[in-house]
Structures are given as C-alpha cells and as structure tokens.
Amino acid sequence: MVVTHMTNVPREQMMLSNFMEPTLKKNAEAKRSIDPAVVFEKTKRKPWRSGNLRKQNWGVWLHRMSAYVGKMKPAMAHCLIEASTTPGQTILDPFCGVGTIPLEADIMGRIGVGVDLNPYAAMISMAKFDRHPVERQLNWLRSVKIEPEKVDISSVSPFEKQYFHERTLREALALRDKILEDNEKFLFGCLLGILHGHRPGHLSVYTSLVVPFRPIDKPPYKEVIPRMMEKVKRMYRNPFPLDTFSTAFQGDARYLPLASGSIDAVVSSPPYYDTLDYIEDNRLRLEFMGYDEKEREKLNRILIQDPRTYLEEMKRVGLELMEFLKPGGICIYVLGDCHKGKLHVNTAQNVAQVYESIGFVNYGVIEDPMPSSPSFPTSYKRKKVDRILLMQKPK
C-alpha cells in the first residue's frame, strides 16, 4: 500500500479546492509595507545567530515532529518571515520539506502554504496542520484496536525488517493502517517521527534519527502505542493555535494549484542540486509508507535534483512564482553551494541569473557560513556556506 496525496490530481480540480478560499479571504485584510532594502538589512544581521535564537531546538515542539535532511532551523525561518512579511500575509514555501516555514509562519500570525513533492516530507507538513486537542489524539490511541498478528509482512523488504523486532514491526504496520483508515494525519506524522532513532521512544533498534545507519545489535521488542502516546504529549509541550488558515500538501512547485496574485512572499530553501539525496536518505520512512524501490525510482526521476537540468527546472518554478506573487512580492531563497570534487558551484549566483532573466529584481546575496562540526575530521577543510538570495517581483 502506497500512501498517496494530491500529486496526480488535475491542476484545474486543485484550483477549485477549498483550501485557498479562507486564505484569500484573510489575505485580503493584510497590508503590504515591506521594503526589500529593509528586508536585506535585517537579514544581513543574521539575528538567528544571537541570543535564544541560537539554540538548535528553538521554537515549539511541533517543529520536532520528525527528522529530515537539510531541515532549516526554526529560528532562521522565524527571522526570515519576520523580516519579509507582516501578520495576516500569505507566505508560500514551494519546497517546504517537513513544513518548518509554513508552520512558523502560522504561529507568527501569517498564512503559511507549504508544498513538497517528497511524500514523506509532505505528510509531516500536513500532519502539523491536522490539529486537535491533545486529549482527542490520546483518546483515539487509547480506543484503537489493532491486530498485529494478522499483518502480512512477507512483502516487507529485508532492509526495513533489519531495524525492527518482528512484533514491533507488526504493531507499527497495524497502527499505520488504522491511522490511514481514519485519515489521522497528525498521528501518522507522530508515527513516522518515532519510527527510527537513537532514543528509547523510537521503535527501531539503535540507529540515527535522520539517515539510519546499518544496525549492529539485534532489535529489541518495543511496544508501539505507549510510545505513540508519549510522542503526542511531547508535541503539545508548547501551546499552539488549533485553528489555522495555513495548509500544506504534496505537489510539484512547477505546477502550483494557486490563484494568480494570491501570495505576498516566498520563503524557501530549494534543493541543493544533488548535494542531498532526499529519497535515499529517507528510505526507511518511505518504505514504511509503501514506497518500494520501483516507487522510489519514480520519485527520483521527478524531483528537482539533477545537475544537468537543475537550472532549467528552477526556472519553471520561478515562472510559477512570478504568476502567483503579488506585484512587489518578495522571494527569499536559502541555497547551498554544490561541491563535486574540485568543482565548486555557487548555486545562489546561478539561480539569481536565471530569475533575473524572467523578470525578478535581485537585491543581493547574504552569506551565512555554517559552524564547523566536531563530527568532521580535522583534515576536512571545506566550509559549508548557505547563501540567502533576496529577490522581488516588480511592482
């Protein structure tokens, strides 16, 4: 069973969907008074690198629902949103990953719209907006009846099986099916979040939280539902509004189902050429969602990550953004350099040139060097630099 979303829904049908109606209604009340030069100066100060914002896990616990490669720090998302928008405005992230930017926008009183083509990332993003009182979530888990002994695991790959005790795997798959049957996206996000990692609350054998390494030990049995209940409780440690105008969905940034002129600003961290492998790195969670090798190959073919076509595909995204941004709308991209042996590609510079060719005004690039990691050997000389590209649709 493959967990599917909106990827194959015709664009015309998606344009008529309900999710944009409250967005447009609330957005009409927002006023624009954002000067790109001011945004650039605010961003140049890099406020996410000072005070409490420096903390790796700054922000509401909901941001920590599930791990993802290349995930933006919530504090950085907060600062970019604060600099580029005012409350009530609509922010689009066409490469939203696990929804850090749309969620932070929502918490800050904006309307966040998140889109991602990766089904795992999209599910986590959607889960963050499927919000109900915590007791409602816990009561569902208390009352659900699962039958793990009836679960057929013959089609589960050896790769997936190696991470779990058989009883744990059967329980997790049985719970997954019940969650999907009742369309409980928030709970599915929580289940994906505890699927593997290095803490007692995770269901797998000891492994990495983000990209799992091959297990060394024999997987112990771990009861699923009690760990799910603890996970849900953690997500509610910080208060967050249950009502929201924000949304997220699985879709393609090259074919956005939005109304013309409906977006005030774009804040996003697009794919870094092929520096990160968003399919293979998330393989275990994707397999749990039903994406076997054949399905993952399909995903790899449609993602924007091939260096040979990267700029062409990003241009297609830019043309979409040019249509959906309001006149004067700001577009902020956080982009990483690409290194292949001795080849160094300044992604921000290349994307800026492409976007200027389709009409965007380039206000400049801000370098944001990443701190060195003790996990790298001392012989590792290359410093990682993110570049923040600020552009504007002409008024």
Average pLDDT over residues 282-298: 97
Note whether residue 240 is domain-resident.
no
Residue 292 sits in the same domain as residue 368 = yes
Identify the domain boundary among 206, 235, 264: 235
270: nearest Cα among 351, 193, 328: 351
Model pLDDT, residue 370: 74
Q: Tokens for 126? A: 């959607």
In degrees, to the nearest 5, what angle opens at C-alpha 347 toward C-alphas 346 and 349? 70
**Residue 43 to residue 142: CA distance in whole angstroms:** 46
Q: Tokens for 199? A: 């803490």
Residue 77 sits in the same domain as residue 49 = yes
Percent of the chain, pLDDT > 90? 81
Identify the domain boundary among 235, 268, 298: 235
Question: Which CATH number characterizes residue 352's domain?
Answer: 3.40.50.150
> For 53-57, 216-220, 279-283, which range has the lowest pLDDT when averaged over its residues?
53-57
Pairing mode, strands 338-340 and 343-345: antiparallel
Instruction: Output the average pLDDT for the chain.
Output: 90
Note whether residue 228 is domain-resident.
yes
Is the predicted pLDDT of residue 193 greater than 60, yes or no? yes
Residue 118 sits in the same domain as residue 147 = no
Question: C-alpha 285: how far from its chain's center?
Answer: 14
Residue 324 sits in the same domain as residue 271 = yes
What total number of domains does the chain contain? 2
Residue 266 sits in the same domain as residue 372 = yes
**Residue 140 to residue 156: CA distance in whole angstroms:** 27
**Residue 140 to residue 163: CA distance in whole angstroms:** 27
Model pLDDT, residue 372: 54
Q: Tokens for 142? A: 């208390």
**Helical pair 185-193 and 134-143, crossing angle rounded to 10 deg:** 80
Helix runs in the chain, H state only: 11-15, 20-27, 36-44, 74-84, 100-107, 119-127, 134-143, 158-161, 166-181, 185-193, 224-235, 283-288, 293-302, 310-324, 347-357
Q: What type of residue sits at position 236?
A: Y
Residue 106 sits in the same domain as residue 150 = no
Position 342 confidence tier, pLDDT thresholds 50, 70, 90: confident
Distances (CA, A) of 383 to 73, 289, 376, 387: 18, 35, 11, 13
Model pLDDT, residue 32: 59
Note whether residue 250 is domain-resident.
no
Could you tell me the pTM of the whole model?
Answer: 0.91
Is the predicted pLDDT of residue 214 greater than 70, yes or no? yes
Residue 112 sits in the same domain as residue 141 = no
Residue 53 sits in the same domain as residue 145 = no
Note whether residue 243 is domain-resident.
no
Residue 63 sits in the same domain as residue 150 = no
Q: What type of residue sits at position 106?
A: D
Is the predicted pLDDT of residue 29 greater than 70, yes or no? no
Model pLDDT, residue 4: 57
- Domain extent, residue 383, equals 11-122+256-392
Identify the domain boundary among 235, 269, 286: 235
Bridge partner residues of 114 (DSSP): 93, 248
Model pLDDT, residue 385: 85
Residues 6 or more apart whose CB falls under 8 angstroms from that of 371 comprise none
Residue-wise pLDDT tens digits, 244-273: 999 999 999 999 999 999 999 999 999 987
Residue-wise pLDDT tens digits, 145-157: 999 999 999 999 9
Position 8 confidence tier, pLDDT thresholds 50, 70, 90: very low
Is the predicted pLDDT of residue 379 greater than 90, yes or no? no
Model pLDDT, residue 383: 60
Residue 270 sits in the same domain as residue 178 = no
Position 33 confidence tier, pLDDT thresholds 50, 70, 90: low
Residue 183 sits in the same domain as residue 110 = no
Note whether residue 372 is domain-resident.
yes
Average pLDDT over residues 140-169: 97
Is the predicted pLDDT of residue 23 greater than 50, yes or no? no
Residue 280 sits in the same domain as residue 382 = yes
More confident residue, 14 or 132: 132
Note whether residue 43 is domain-resident.
yes
Note whether residue 272 is domain-resident.
yes
